[in-house]
Amino acid sequence: MLSETPDAGTVPERTSARQRSDGRVRLRAGPACAGGATRIVDLAESGPSRLRFPRGAGALEAVLVNTAGGVACGDAFAIALELAPSSDLVLTTTAAEKIYRSDGPVSRIENRLTLEAGARLAWLPQETILFDEARVCRRFEADLAPGAALLAVEIIAFGRAARGERITAGLFRDAWRVRRAGRLAYADTFAVEGAISDLLARPAIGGGARACATLLDVSDGAEARLEEARALLATAHQPGIEAAVSAWNGHLVVRALSPGIGPVRTMIARFLIGYRGLPMPRVWQS
């Protein structure tokens, strides 16, 4: 956690007649029979949010599409996933998610996951890019039954590097809560507000980083993979990145700070290929 900020609900929001996006998807997936392939059981979509399911072998792959082209001030997006016992799902996004500038209102993104016994989810969205003056609060909540496994990755770029953009004002709040068998197992809140680029330049906060990444593995064997993960991270390392792996309480976490989005995206992809023993989703390669 870099710094704390008051709950965004206390931030006054300007009222206006502009249209807001309200995108929601709800997916329930499960195997058709014991040991069978994972299939869609129920799917609901509304607003600009859509799920697409490329054909392929292995786990069911869901690709999230935002037809609005990004997240603007005051927009709201929500994802609800329910995986039946022994399900196997990979969720990714068709492209980087862009969080545009706001003149006051805070955008909200809610991700809620329920994994029943033996279910497996690889949560692998492409990066999120914050524009200058973006204001967004995001919440990631997962409830895992015994034997369920969650591998989640999030990559954040603070400003458009190709334009040399700095975030002179903005809000980014990202809260993760993961429960196993009803008990809180992992909690983390990353919050920065104001001149975010200046905050990240401080040695005790970001050391000049322009991008960061978090990878979380919550599964029965995650903690025992610490040395393997450290070896993979050393192999995947990119110049200029500071990264480390920790494991405790039955889960494993990789954190990285990077001078730009390209190096950390490449490093995380290489690490995941080795860690999962599988290629990245095809949309990552386009």
pLDDT one digit per residue (tens) for the chain, 286 residues = 343 344 444 444 444 456 788 999 999 999 977 778 999 999 999 999 999 999 877 899 999 999 999 999 899 999 999 999 999 999 999 999 999 999 899 999 999 999 999 999 999 999 999 999 999 999 999 999 999 999 999 999 999 877 788 899 999 999 999 999 999 999 999 999 999 999 999 998 999 999 999 999 999 999 999 999 999 999 999 999 999 999 999 999 999 999 999 999 999 999 999 999 999 999 998 6
Q: Rounded to whole angstroms, how far apart are CA atoms 168 and 133?
A: 7
- Sequential DSSP letters for 235-278: HH--TT-EEEEEEETTEEEEEEEESSHHHHHHHHHHHHHHHHSS
Spans of all domains in the chain: 29-285
Could you identify the residue written with the tokens 């989810």? 121
Amino acid 18: pLDDT: 65
- For the entire predicted model, the pTM comes to 0.91
Q: How many angstroms separate the CA atoms of 45 and 25, rounded? A: 4
Spatial separation of the C-alpha atoms in residues 243 and 268, rounded to whole Å: 10
SS3 of residue 44 by DSSP:
strand
Classify residue 223 as exposed, middle or buried by CB count within 10 Å of its CB (0-12, 13-18, 19+).
middle
